[in-house]
């Protein structure tokens, strides 16, 4: 998700699909609980993230199996 954080153009592309009121949450090195909120937000914005990455021609696309793994991690915490 650092791809979107470092570029205003990429964040604009993502917000076009996700809406301006919802943005990604980036985890921090000092807080483990921020990782969970980042993963939950990725699942919430799954379609928007995939569409934005296709529009931006990013080579690092997330596969469906990776989204399933993220969902499993989030389920383990609940």
So what's the pLDDT on residue 69?
A: 93
Q: What is the pTM of this model?
A: 0.65
pLDDT digits (tens, 9 = 90+) for 12-61: 888 888 876 667 776 666 666 678 888 888 898 888 888 888 888 887 77
So what's the pLDDT on residue 30?
A: 61
Total of domains in the chain: 1
- The DSSP string of 27-66 is -BTTBTHHHHHHHHHHHHTHHHHHHHHHHTT-S-PPPHHH
């Amino acid at each position: 998700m650092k791809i979107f954080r470092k570029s205003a153009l990429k964040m604009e592309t993502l917000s076009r699909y996700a809406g301006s009121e919802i943005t990604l949450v980036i985890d921090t090195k000092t807080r483990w609980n921020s990782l969970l909120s980042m993963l939950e937000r990725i699942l919430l914005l799954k379609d928007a993230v995939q569409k934005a990455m296709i529009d931006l021609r990013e080579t690092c696309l997330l596969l469906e199996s990776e989204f399933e793994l993220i969902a499993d991690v989030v389920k383990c915490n609940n």
